[in-house]
Structure 1
Amino acid sequence: MKTDFHFSNLLGTVYGRGNLLFAPDGSCLLSPVGNRVSVFDLVSNKSYTLPFAHRRNISRIALNPRGNLLLSVDEDGRAILTHLPRRIALYHFSFRGALTALAFSPSGRYFAAGIGRQIEVWHTPSTPDTSGDGGLEFAPFIRHRTYTGHFDEVQSIEWSSDSRFFLSAAKDLTAKIWSLDPEEGFVPTTLAGHRQPVRNAWFSKDQETIYTISKDGALFEWKYKAKHDEDEEEQPKDERWRIAKKHFFMQNNATLTCAAFHAPSNLLVTGFSSGIFMIHELPDFNEIQTLSISNNGIDYVTINSTGEWLAFGASKLGQLLVWEWQSESFILKQQGHYDSMNSIVYSPDGQRIITCADDGKIKVWDTNSGFCIVTFTEHSSGVTACEFSKRGNVLFTASLDGSVRAWDLIRYRNFRTFTAPTRLSFSSLAIDPSGEVVCAGSLDSDNIHIWSVQTGQLLDQLAGHEGPVSSLAFAPDGGALISGSWDNTVRIWNIFSRTQTSEPLQLQANVLALAFRPDSKQIAVSTLDGQLTFWNVSDALQTGVLDGRRDVSGGRKLSDRRTAANAAGTKTFTTLRYSADGTCVLAGGNSKYICLYEVQSGMLVKKFTVSVNLALDGTQEYLNSRLMTEAGPLGLIDTQGEAEDLQDRLDHTLPGASRGDASVRRTRPEIRVPAVAFSPTGRAFCAASTEGLLLYSLDAGFAFDPFELDVDVTPAGALSALCRGDGLRALVMAFRLGEKGLIRRVFEGIPVADVPLVVGALPLVYLGRLIRLIAERAEEGPHLEFCLRWIEAVLVCHGRVLRERRGEFAAEMKLVLRVVGWIEKGIWRMGERNGYAVDVLLRQPLKEVEGAMGAIEDVADVDMGETGSESEGSEGEWMGLED
């Protein structure tokens, strides 16, 4: 099994805190999520997370006008400069202070940063495509000037269109006009008159007007003019910036939390602490829209370059919205869990991930797009477990509200609810592979409850454990049910036999988690003493033991009196999962590490660090003594009583709560991994953590790999071999070079008649790459019959190898099954609908048949497009099937 997993995406949360950014073309939205940055492509409906991670939560991000340089700064002022198209971190830099404002100049040569009361302007570092020598700079960050004059924290910075001047708004109730370089006759100007801190200040499109807006909802319009006195006909000119108009937002007790201005269209968008946003047209201050989008305050709003889309971020509930104000519709509406996730599960086809959390919500995430496609809210309390049926169209969930629910994932509804005779809080769940029986265990009872899915009736209560049931699992072949309990035993139940017998397996500590191997012959059990034990199911013999205490332990909390090596709370595994081929076990617990073990040898194959975010408790191995005060650790001292707003000074958290929303600044959540899950394809796994749902995957793309390269292996050589009719040599050379465009061109250039010959002579080392390539082209390209001929040739020529090495090629064969099933489903729908059209035409008089022949072609075209759109990434082009 391949174990080279790398971080690929972050789901489960879409917005933390900080500012949102639109790309220059307006098609992508950048959102800070904790210590990472997620990019949402609003046109192609996909999202991804940049690979770098800060040591603290990100407070500000900025993008240069070309859209290739992203500057992200965390709460400590440490910045990372990233090449956005290549997703590569270029430089690390420290501003030596927390940033409150950040903006690139329209020319792209400078960027301004607000650090406390000061404003620093820096030269933009060059990139390999802009520097003259083609290399990077030795000293990339060079300070241009430092501007002082404000008496309180700077809140926003806005540049003029010519990059000669910029505006700054601060908490000292003023806004100031600065010049980048000394200008003749120009003196830095202060705009005073607001009664509360100024949130933002902007230039108009012609730069003849300045707009300032304050926290109390006062909007001032400033003009550069002289003061006229009616009594004096002649007076000396006293030209300066003066208030021309005043406008006020009447929102009762709500305060203005954010604002954005689009100068080309004179569009002003304001967000308030009540969750209401308003759109006005300036300078007349005409109200266009007023809408409530959240029960909590809106933290940030931004407008794209065309002025059509508005992006809103609300950190209280982790909401991210993109609103098209002209059509009054949502382009994007996403919300993550605002409480800790408890359980996750992959769908059998690997295309969906289900997450359950303490907020009582169940979310379905698409692995290809990264978006949440549906949310279930019927549970009235925290959801603790979730499991799929074998077919994948029914989901079962267990909750602390005392119910087990069945969900139809085709119609997206709850069609069955199972309850116990007494009030219980269910914490574990198991589903029979046939989908006929559902079992649940509770920490309030020693019995296991069994229901019938068809009738919803309680069939039986299995008694035998002497302690609460902590974990349940059905064998993949449906032959047995295993249960783990706090009475230090694991029991194997034969619930479908005439006599429901159970065989106990004695362990040395409380059972926390267990898992079945995919072949149903072995189980893995995690206990409270940090041991992983493996048992043979058929003869109930222990086959292996792993001591994982040293591997999983890590991270010291601020309140710990012991070091990370001696802390007892992080030395156990609370979740276990087997890999798709059964050779490895993935385990996680209440620490920052995820461990991957090889079962046969008992070796630790790889250790994944979930997070390096210092804002979470338990990510540090050693504590900094400089952060210790007489009152205790500095991070535990409550400073929210000094907050500016009343709603920020109020504390609604529970005393001693350690599992909270990472976006709430008053809490310090602990790093945990409550659940892990392996993809059925074996090429990815996901882990539920405090920061969200982390996805790790193998690099499935054709990256450059210098494998058996020589001077003759070139793109020109591959194309030349293809022209000579040597398809095998051309394909092998393309695989060696690893260029995606070249591989596609060679693949589609091989004649259909030569496909069996090429596949039969292909070295086995390239077989996995070829299968993944065929599956990719079948989903994205229009040549369906061509790809099916390739699949047929692979199965005929290498069927024996695929069967003998099924563990190695399990992921590739899953892709083939998915592609073939999708093609079969599309062709069936097309034939069914066209059959109806033919029946209608046959019932018509003969005179109308000729005039209606075009209807068949139109129906066929529509059917092809609709069927193709059901698969993500498909182009909807079905060629050669109309006949």
Structure 2
Amino acid sequence: MARVFLSYSRADEEFATRLRERLETEAADVSLWQDRSRMEGGVGWWQQIKDALEQVEFMVLVMSQATMHSDTVRKEWRHARQQGVCVYPVKAAEFDFAQLPRWMSNAHFFDLEKEWPTFLQHLRSPAYAQRVPFMAPDLPPNYVDRPAEFAELRSRLLEPGRQNGVAITTALHGAGGFGKTTLAAALCHDEDIITVFFDGILWVTLGRSPNLQAAVTGLHNALSGGHAAFADVQSAGLALAEQIQDRTCLIVIDDVWDASHLQPFLRGGRNCARLITTRNFRIAADFAQVKVDEMRGAEAASLLARGLPPGGGRLFEEPARRLGEWPLLLELANATLRHRVALGDSVEGALRYLNRALDRRGVTRFDPLNDAKIAQTIEISLESLHKDRRNFFALAIFPENTNIPLSAVQGLCGLDDFDAEEMVQSMHDLSLLRLDLQSGVFRLHDAIRVWLRDQLSDTQSIHARLLAAWGDPHTLPSAYAWRWLAYHLVHADRTAQLRSLLLDFDWLQAKLEATDVSALVSDFDNLKDDAEISLIQAAIRLSAHVLSRDKAQFAGQLIGRLQPGAGRSSTALIEQASRWRGANWLRPLGPSLTQAGGPLLRTFIVRSTYAPVALHPDGRTAVCASEDGSIRKWDLESGVEVRCTPPESGGVRALALSPAGQILSAVAETIKLWDLDSGAELLCLKGHAGAVTCVAWAEGGRRAISASADGTIRLWDLASGEQMVSIMAHEDRVSAVCILPRGRALTGSRDGTLRLWHLESGEKVRSFLARGPVTAAAVTPDGRWAVAGFADGLLKIWDVESGAETGVMQGHTDRIAAVATTPDGHRAISASGDSTLRVWDLATASEICCLAGHIQGVTSVAVNGDGRRAVSLSYDGTLKLWDIERSRAASLRSGHSDEITAMVAIPRRRQLLSASRDGTLRLWDWDSRSEARCFRPPGGKLSCIAVTPDGSRALSASTDRTLKLWDLDSGEEAGAFTGLTGELSAVAITPDGRYVVSAADDRTVRVWNMATGSEIHCFTPHPRSATAIALSDSQAFSGAWDSGSWDGALKVWNLESGEEISSFYGLSDSVASLAVTGDFKRGVSGCWDGTVRVWNLDSSSQELTYSGHADAVSAVALAPDGRHVVSASHDQTLHIWELATGRVLARFTGDGPLTACAVFADGPTLAVGETSGAIHFLRLESGAHSEVAAASP
């Protein structure tokens, strides 16, 4: 692959050729790409240059005065900078340094005669340059400046303390073609703008019906250089905000039709500016506005005269006036004039023709709001098309704001490549469209496209004609065809064919390979009312973050997220996916990933942890507090987030949202009332002497109630802002307040009581003995039942009228952080520090289901007005939307409920043993993947396990410093190893079954006699605690917490004597896991730095380092054949590596950090565990052309 791109103007070709020859002679190791010598001819040559620039590391830029005037070279260096290519200018001839772009004037220019060795050294060194996107379109030929508007916009963007957003608008609602986009492009090409926005110029065009997810993702990837994909607009917008956070970019958002479409582009980037073009000035009400309507007389006449020979003088003014100084129609008229002159007419004669044509069509004074007048003006240009008129109208079928390849026109119009290019060129010459021959694409102005579409009575047959030209949808001819096939199928009324394709795995995989996951997901939007199609789309959405990095995981992700019995079509899709052999991949043996169609509907990344959440009764809007103290509103359908209140120091501690769209918030000792839509502060209430902990609405939103750490509750009149009642409710912090019918309130406190109050009188009605600090409480809307949660994970139910305790609900294993009841009063939903939510039946005090999905503690929960949906917020920084009705039909997930800490395959039993922080050992049947037995050792959470060679017994280590032996057949305890003085971090049994070795956090390593249970040795082989151990019959390979590579964090030592045999050096972080080959010749380590390393245990040397994980490698395992390594990581991925080469054979991505793995002996089957307690059973499937088809990992 070429390493260096040589860029030069044609005037400098001789210099460039000599430079290329010298490099090839004197630096043969520096591979070179020079366009003329390596490029294929024909239309689309610019794409070949772009492809080359996306592969090289350096651009050698041959600089001369001719280079300064070369549009092609300018495009090359801009694209190079956008790709992060290092640009090295070399001087070929004298030129004016004052004309250099600002970024280049600071660069070092190599003098090749004096600095040749240095120049070569740079080309041989690693390259790094920050990507500097320049995404603005080229300016049209003979661009006519609009100095007044340009100067105003330029000053607004460059002024100190500029507003974050500037809008180019028109005063005429709905009118296009006034040159807003061209003016925005001109600003982007201004050197001062490029200098100020030195991190890049970003550009996105939206239109009426934009694919927002694809648009936001495109900007993110332009900055990152990656190929990321996101599950929804919200996550894409958040990722874009992170990319621009510390950059200074100009972001142009062109052709905005809806204010909500702007929101994903407005987050973050405090040093960035947004330039918006829109036809509706109301959309940009919050931005500084510059109106761009008709051109001034001289500007319009100049545009009309563009490209014409001298002559005509003031004769241009009258037709320009008649065309309303509207740039789009002036361009069309200018093209007509140029066409007439090209046929031999004079300028004056061409102008007379234009005026006659306008007279004939009744255009005396142009009205941009009169569609008939617009059509009559466009018709003048169409007179010159002759035979191509019908084909021009057919172009209306293409989507708006899209580059159309010439190849699509060939199929649509039945032309060869030459005729298609000639036809489109003629339309370009008439300014009916914009052709880019360098890229082989064209684009219609939206106003012309809309007019063309309105003239066609039958677009369906035209779409069908294009589809027929493309042929088999499995072998489409172009990237455009793959991306837009669904669009054309729908408009050809072939939704049945589209449905068939969306249920065809081979087609889905081919579409994914040809485009990206966002394009694939958007195809399903065309069949939103089809339940099975929506289910498959949901599975792909859940997998989007995986597929953006590794498209070979598509089959595995679908199988893992779809239940085989969900529907006939989806079952057939799973069966087809299971047969895929396009690459090596890991096939889940069951649907063990987060299920599509399950209770989890959507996940939003909010970067808020402890903050409260509130849900509008309609279930469409949620609000939660952000880290900066602002309150953010979320549209739960679109995933769009909007910051709706200013930041507050101290953070928001409580929220309540009313049906009328008002928000109550608590910050420190104050309560504030906000308008949801405008974000305006309506009221500020003060009176508490301690931090406000809870707020709630009372009396239909006319009043509010607040509770505080000062022990009081207070009732407020929201019309006057006056405090009506203050009650000293508790002796300690009030942790909950709930409104009941008949003017009553229930409070819960850290003082261990619940109390019922009459608000008007301030009298206590009743006390409920809670027997522990209350952490959360709720009441049913009818006031019948009260529910309270406690620090130990219990929930209790009381009959409010009698005060009797009616039930205790058990299931959570950590503190109850929040509880809510459904509007029908039948159910409660609790949120806990154990990372789950649980749905309860209040009549029976029984659990309906557990909602698992968060990977850290849940801090708040809210339910919508019909009780069908809930939202939850977690310390993991996510807001999740749940379907409670689906959860009612769901059962508790079988298996572990907390992190998997260890797992061991037992070949003789064809079983798997797993241990978890939930305190259980579980034995699984490998073939059926069903649970065969569950052990519940007394004591703390389980940290590690080992199994005897004959598979009959197992050791378990717990956090209570116990090490016990279990009979796997009877489930009975078979022994214990006593004398431990620290919590165990590793345990292993020798292959011959004679010894047990344990490592603890007090730095001790102990060797035990397996038969007697007696301790043989206790010593400290490492300066810090050992974290992993792997054994032969007589030796141990151990790893430890890193304390500096000088001490050898890996060691081999003798089991009987405890003497050190060898130490290994070179680690950069602590060891998390170890494995050894059966012959004890090689060891494999997984480290906290994300690396997997292979060690030669005989020579005490490192052989290979595998790099591929992005986080700690928590577990490694070796295949029984010793040829393959399996690694599980906190980055949520499992890798299978070829031991000898470090080549990755396949990957699998789970839903959370992976913590343990095991490989089965007699086939390419393995298991991996997550922090959630989920276990995935996987089988390696080899690609059809894979050289490792028979390998067993």
Higher relative contact order (CA 8 A, sep 6+): 1
Common fold: TM-score over 0.5: no
TM range (shorter): 0.3 to 0.5
Is the helix fraction higher in 1 or 2? Answer: 2
Is the strand fraction higher in 1 or 2? Answer: 1
